[in-house]
Amino acid sequence: MSAILSIPSSNPPTISTFKNLDFCSTMAELKQHHAQIVKLGLSSDNDGTGRLIKFSALSQSGDLPYALKVFASLPQPDAFIYNTIFRAYLHAQLHTHCLSLYSHMLQNSVTPNNYSFPPVIRACAAAAGVGKQVHAHVIKFGFSRDSYCQNNLIRMYVGFDELEAARRVFDRMERKDDVSWTTMISGYSQCGWLGEALRVFETMAVKNSAAWNAVIAAHVQNNRFHDAFKLFDRMMEEDVEMDGFVAASMLAACTGLGALELGEWIHERMESRGIRIDTKLATTLMDMYCKCGRLDKAVEVFDGLRVKGVSSWNCMIGGFAMHGRGRDAIGLLKRMEAEAGRPDPVTFVNVLAACAHSGMVEEGRRYFSYMTEAYDIAPRMEHYGCLVDLLGRAGLLDEARMVIDEMPMSPDVGVLGALLGACRIHGNLEMAEEVGHRVIELEPGNSGRYVLLANLYAKEGRLEDVARVRKLMNDRGVKKVAGSSTIELAGSVCEFVAGGRAHPEAREIYAKVGEIVRRIRDFGYVTDSEGVLYEAGEEESENPLHYHSEKLAIAYGLLKTKPGDTIRVTKNLRVCKDCHEASKLISEAYDREIIVRDRNRFHHFKGGVCSCNDYW
């Protein structure tokens, strides 16, 4: 009689059971393996239970409370298991739980390893004192030279705005990687220390695209757009390939200066180099086109998106708003709703702004109520600001004031500033006087608030009050902001300051301004001498009025472009009445389209009229 021999498995049951845990895909499957571990009497084994905890704590289909129950049942969890729970707490944003667990780890005499400290350090994000204690432990346990720990310490100190401490860690690193350099550069940038950010960058032996992006982004975030362009030119000269991050930073720089040509070049290079334009990058691209006056190109990018996120819809609706195309903004909102996109609070800020810039009072009132009725979005400060702006621009000052009085929160400087601006437009000194003083106290460093009130006093001949406001400015050391405008020609951005003569071709530009003024007088131009009084703060009361910064930029554009070319100008302040009227007549006299982006919106001048219909 033959015997059947069974060949034993090469892996004992315990080993195969533990290995099977690595292939679990659901909690139900994991619980079956857990039951088998318990049945085999291995529930105290750190290897098997560690795998159970790893899946249930960190996988997408896991169950953190289950992992914590298993963890609590272990008599002597090791560092690996603690590290797993650290990561799980960090992922769940349970930072205090992570720090408490670290304390538990030390109390149970479990020695941390190099994988313990990175998540614990990141958990110190809101606790500077604890962070320093953890740093001391890093040194005590011998991990002060571990690059992962060091990078996380640098990030932690940067988050606390303790740049000197971050720099000490950075300087002691033997091997600095890309994360070390970019974190240090970005940290200095966040604190406005651009000189230090640049010095760190210049000490790098090899500057890759991540480092270039960090230093370029640092300048963009601090509104140093010209310097960002210079750095980008250096990057191109050194043959460093532009990636999506650098492209996003440079598109933001183009947006800041209205540099359309460079923005278009970056867009073309992104496409030719195969850079993936995801929703976030596409939205940055759309924002650039919207704010550089090419709304048609923004629409083209928007329509080309397969998946449109809420930010994409909001950007496009906001683009229509700043160009005064209120009907298009509302139409896009309806399209968003039809395509199953749910508007958020920002969507309605943009819709209300579109109504305000287009004088669509009834529509604005309706959508202010609609967002709550249809989407349960409670009005925020920004929504009230838009509503006050809408009503104020339309001359409904009493209603705008009533909205402020009935707000469920105290109005901020944006809301009151909108009413103050409306008082300027409609010459209501009585209301402006009351609101103006409130705004000045809320924002004592903003020169425009003082000047607006002073100019209203000047218009009424109340010179003592003018002197009082100006004395208050002087006592507080508040300086007026000079008007400045930029124009991009042949890929170069030129900046003009109100009344300035720093440009090498200043003589020719001023001569061109003289010619322009003489020519548009034949079309009915009369200098708005009233504007010299109450627009003074917007442009430092330039003398003469003809040399406002946008007039200099337009004159330069006429000198340097061909007949029929569009002139695009970006201005840092609100366009004054005199320049607005002059720009309309220049567009007619020279048969040019002139697009001016001011602090609030776009003005498209063509054939003697403006797209804003003199409503701005």
Boundary of a domain, candidates 425, 450, 480: 480
Q: Name the least confident of 17-26, 88-97, 192-201, 517-526.
A: 17-26
Residues 437 and 549 in one domain: no
Q: Is residue 194 part of a domain?
A: no
Residues 433 and 513 in one domain: no
Is 607 in a helix, a strand, or coil? coil
Three-state helix/strand/coil letters over 338-380: HCCCCCCHHHHHHHHHHHHHHCCHHHHHHHHHHHHHHHCCCCC
Tokens for 579, please give them.
């320049």
pLDDT value, residue 14: 52
pLDDT value, residue 27: 86
Which CATH number does the domain housing residue 423 bear? Answer: 1.25.40.10
Nearest 5°: the CA angle 118, 107, 156 is 25
Residues 424 and 522 in one domain: no
315 and 321 in contact (C-beta within 8 Å)? no
Phi then psi dihedrals of residue 116, to 5 deg: -75, -40
Residues 472 and 515 in one domain: no
pLDDT value, residue 141: 93
Residues 509 and 462 in one domain: no
Confidence class for position 35, pLDDT limits 50, 70, 90: confident
Residues 507 and 592 in one domain: yes
How many helices and strands in the chain, by DSSP H and E? 33, 6
183 and 155 in contact (C-beta within 8 Å)? yes
Q: Is residue 508 part of a domain?
A: yes
pLDDT more than 90, % of the chain = 65
The set of residues, in sequence order, having a beta carbon less than 8 Å from that of 236 and lying 6+ positions away, is: 242
pLDDT of residue 13 exceeding 80, the answer is no
Boundary of a domain, candidates 480, 503, 528: 480
What is the distance between the alpha carbons of residues 13 and 166, in angstroms, rounded to a whole number?
Answer: 51
Most confident of the ranges 117-131, 205-219, 277-291? 277-291
What's the longest Cα–Cα distance across the chain? 126
pLDDT, average across residues 143-172: 92
Q: Is residue 345 part of a domain?
A: no
Instruction: Give residue 498's domain range.
Output: 484-610
Tokens for 171, please give them.
């300087």
- Single-letter amino acid, residue 554: I
Residues 503 and 598 in one domain: yes
Residues 561 and 498 in one domain: yes
pLDDT, average across residues 385-405: 95
What is the distance between the alpha carbons of residues 247 and 235, in angstroms, rounded to a whole number?
Answer: 12
Residues 512 and 577 in one domain: yes
pLDDT, average across residues 342-349: 96
Residues 552 and 476 in one domain: no
Per-residue pLDDT tens digits for 108-151: 999 999 899 999 999 998 777 899 999 999 999 999 889 899 99
pLDDT, average across residues 24-28: 82
pLDDT, average across residues 330-341: 92
Q: Is residue 441 part of a domain?
A: yes
Q: Is residue 551 part of a domain?
A: yes
What is the distance between the alpha carbons of residues 77 and 73, in angstroms, rounded to a whole number?
Answer: 9
Q: Name the least confident of 175-189, 402-416, 522-536.
A: 522-536
Burial class of 528 by CB neighbour count within 10 A (0 to 12, 13 to 18, 19+): middle
pLDDT value, residue 67: 92
570 and 597 in contact (C-beta within 8 Å)? yes
What is the distance between the alpha carbons of residues 229 and 458, in angstroms, rounded to a whole number?
Answer: 42
Quote the mean pLDDT of the chain. 89
Q: Is residue 113 part of a domain?
A: no
What is the distance between the alpha carbons of residues 116 and 101, in angstroms, rounded to a whole number?
Answer: 11
CA 10 to chain centre: 59
Q: Is residue 162 part of a domain?
A: no
Residues 488 and 472 in one domain: no
Is 447 in a helix, a strand, or coil? helix
Q: Name the least confident of 126-135, 404-413, 527-536, 573-582.
A: 527-536
Q: Is residue 539 part of a domain?
A: yes
pLDDT of residue 537 exceeding 50, the answer is no
Q: Which residues pair with 566 in a beta bridge?
A: none
pLDDT value, residue 435: 93
pLDDT of residue 542 exceeding 70, the answer is no
Confidence class for position 79, pLDDT limits 50, 70, 90: very high
Confidence class for position 37, pLDDT limits 50, 70, 90: confident
What's the structural domain count of the chain?
2
Confidence class for position 544, pLDDT limits 50, 70, 90: low
CA distances to 6, 7, 385, 400, 418 from 449, rounded to whole Å, are 92, 90, 16, 19, 11
pLDDT value, residue 61: 84
Boundary of a domain, candidates 423, 455, 480: 480
Tokens for 25, please give them.
């895909």
Alpha carbons within 13 A on the beta-carbon side of 255: 22
Nearest to 277 by CA among 308, 316, 318: 308
Confidence class for position 5, pLDDT limits 50, 70, 90: very low
pLDDT, average across residues 466-490: 89
CA 463 to chain centre: 42
Residues 476 and 555 in one domain: no
What does the DSSP 8-state code read for residue 142? Answer: T
Confidence class for position 295, pLDDT limits 50, 70, 90: very high
Per-residue pLDDT tens digits for 54-75: 988 998 888 899 999 999 989 9
